[in-house]
Amino acid sequence: MLTFEMLTNIIGIASLLTIITLAMVIISKGERIKQLQGKIATLEKSLNEMDEQAKLIVRTDMELNKTQDELDKKMTGLYALQILSRQISTSLEESQIFKILKETMSFQELGFEKACAFLWDSLEGKFILHTDIGCLEDAAESIKSSVNSDKEKYLGLIKEAKSFSCTASSECADEQFAQEIKESFGVESFIIAPVLPKEGNQGFMLAGTKAKDTVINKGDQELISILANQLGEALENARLFEKTWRAQQELERKVTERTGDLTKALGEVKTISKRKSDFISAVSHELRTPLTSIKGYASILLAGKLGALPAEIRERLDKINRHSDELVHMINELLDIARIESGKVGMKKESLELQGIIIGVIELLSVQAKEKEIDLSYKIAEQAKFVSADREQLKRVFINIVSNAIKFTPPKGKITIQARKIDNMAQLDISDTGYGIPQEAQEAVFEEFYRVDNAINQEIRGTGLGLALVKRIIEAHNGKIWLKSKAGAGSTFSFTLPQTN
């Protein structure tokens, strides 16, 4: 039986147990809370630590980014400069240089959306805009006019050869001018650098941006200065080249002009020479006819067909006859010269053996030679035996030269004819031991009617046409004729003729 007391005891024990259990639960909960609080504290601590790390990361990242930006800018600048200098250095035309500057230089990547290059034009007394990047047409116009309305300041800048920069926030060296530049070009920050070629007009370059937060450091300024220098050098090279080129053009022009003059003069000479030949030819023909009749009548009279003549008349008639012969001879030679010159008489070229011709000539002239006891000899080299020439004309050449030699060689002299091969041509030298021809007359002896002015010539008759004719004949054979002589020491006439085998 459960008594009340028992019941109370049970309840008491139960309550006690409950209280103990509860107390235990509370104690354990408290411990867990404590544990959790500890964990939270640890978590919070690590979170804060993490946040501190985050701060470090952010700061480092910021620095890295800044460095990266600087590096990027430098790289871009250097890269652009490299391309630019490579391209500009190969260009030798001013306009081309500015075009390259515009096309290759990435000002934008350097943080400048606007760039201009001006050169001072000393003739017009104003600045000319050569490159404008990032400006519209009307903007460029207004920049031009505002630069020119303030030209003294820009000229001052060039004179001082100093670059300067200004940003929206920093203080500028020349605040007033800087402000004007900003307004003129529509920028907030800029770098301006003089372009100073040693040759010709100088100018300046400007790179600018509207961005207000732009920072321009020393590196940027250096870069633009280098660029301006490069531009200056390129312009200088182009101008020097242009100068040289111009000079050469001028020279070429003069040469062409002179050549033209000479060609014209030569043409005139040829025309005149032809007219002269034609004239001589015509006159000679006209003269020959009456001369023939004069000679004819003289011959008839001399032959006594019209009755015997007194000795005095005969003597006079002889003179007429002889002089007529000389005149005919002269006219014939003149006519020959004219014909050869005008090409009316062709050379009947054939292979001739020199020996036969020379012997024939020596025989023909042996009487005169013997009279003066002049020794006539010849020597023909093995390689110069044959020539290509007109037989009759060649004879004429030899007769002329050798008979001249006989005429002008004092008695007991010596005349030699020598043939040899020189440069695929046969060269004939006719030397004498005569009086010689003075230096000043040597060239003229081949001219028509020229006679050396000396005592012998006054005694010895001649037309002054012989050597002129000889020269024409030799030239018609594509040969040359010349002489070597010394007054009192003889002369050597030399001429060349083409050879045949």
Partner 1 sequence: MSISVSIGLSTEKNALLAAQLAARQALLNLREPNASLAIVFSSVEFARDEILAAIADIVEPAPIVGCSSLAVISNQGIFKYGILIALFSLPEGIYLNVACSEEIDSKPALEAGRELGDKLLYGFRNIRRDFAVIFSDGLMRDGNGMLEGLQERLGTSFPLLGGSASDDLSFEKTYVYFNRKVSSHGACGILWGGKVNFGLGIRHGWKPLGKPRYITKSAGNIVYEIDGESATNVYEEYFARDLSGLQKDSKKISTLYPIGIYLPEEQGYLLRNITSIEDNGSLVFQGNVPQGSLIRLMIGTNDSCLDATKEALEEAGKNLAQRHVDFLLVFESASRYRILGRQIKEELQLIENKLGKNIPVFGIYTYGEQAPLRAINYQGKAYFHNQTVALLAAGA
Classify the phi-psi angles of 126: left when phi > 0, otherwise alpha if psi is within -120 to 50, otherwise beta. Answer: beta
CB of 103 to partner 1, least distance (A): 13
Contacts of 144 (CB under 8 A, 6+ apart): 127, 129
Does the footprint of partner 1 cover residue 108 (CB under 8 A)?
yes
Between 130 and 472, name the residue whose CB sits nearer to partner 1: 130
Does the footprint of partner 1 cover residue 81 (CB under 8 A)?
no
Selected from 66, 319, 372, 379, the binder of partner 1 by CB under 8 A is 66
Q: How far is CA 158 from the centre of its chain?
A: 35
CA distance 271 to 248: 34
CA distance 300 to 306: 7
Does the footprint of partner 1 cover residue 270 (CB under 8 A)?
no
485, 495 contact by CB (below 8 A): no
Total residues at interface with partner 1 (CB under 8 A): 26
Between 106 and 442, name the residue whose CB sits nearer to partner 1: 106
Does the footprint of partner 1 cover residue 54 (CB under 8 A)?
yes
Selected from 6, 11, 62, 251, the binder of partner 1 by CB under 8 A is 62
Single out the residue of 482, 452, 445 nearest to residue 467, CA to CA.
Answer: 445
Single out the residue of 188, 184, 180 nearest to residue 111, CA to CA.
Answer: 188
Question: Percentages helix, strand, coil for the chain, rounded to the nearest 5?
Answer: 60, 15, 20
Does the footprint of partner 1 cover residue 448 (CB under 8 A)?
no
Amino acid identity of residue 388, one-letter, is S
Between 18 and 65, name the residue whose CB sits nearer to partner 1: 65
Does the footprint of partner 1 cover residue 47 (CB under 8 A)?
yes
Q: Pick the stretch among 9-17, 81-89, 177-185, 208-216 that binds partner 1 (CB under 8 A).
A: 208-216
Selected from 134, 203, 434, 479, the binder of partner 1 by CB under 8 A is 134
Selected from 213, 250, 257, 318, the binder of partner 1 by CB under 8 A is 213
Between 48 and 377, name the residue whose CB sits nearer to partner 1: 48
CB of 238 to partner 1, least distance (A): 25
Longest dimension (CA), the chain: 228
Selected from 74, 99, 109, 450, the binder of partner 1 by CB under 8 A is 109
Q: Pick the stretch among 61-69, 95-103, 353-361, 364-372 that binds partner 1 (CB under 8 A).
A: 61-69
Q: Pick the stretch among 4-12, 62-70, 342-350, 391-399 that binds partner 1 (CB under 8 A).
A: 62-70
CA distance 376 to 207: 97
Give residue for tokens 């920050």.
189
405, 434 contact by CB (below 8 A): yes
CA distance 472 to 466: 10
Q: Pick the stretch among 12-20, 54-62, 436-444, 491-499 that binds partner 1 (CB under 8 A).
A: 54-62
Between 165 and 214, name the residue whose CB sits nearer to partner 1: 214
Does the footprint of partner 1 cover residue 65 (CB under 8 A)?
yes
Give residue for tokens 């091969």.
421
Contacts of 103 (CB under 8 A, 6+ apart): none
User: What are phi and psi for residue 212, nearest 5 degrees?
Assistant: -80, -20
Q: For binding to partner 1 (CB under 8 A), which residues are involved? A: 47-48, 50-51, 54-55, 57-59, 61-62, 65-66, 69, 72, 76, 108-109, 113, 134, 136-137, 210-213
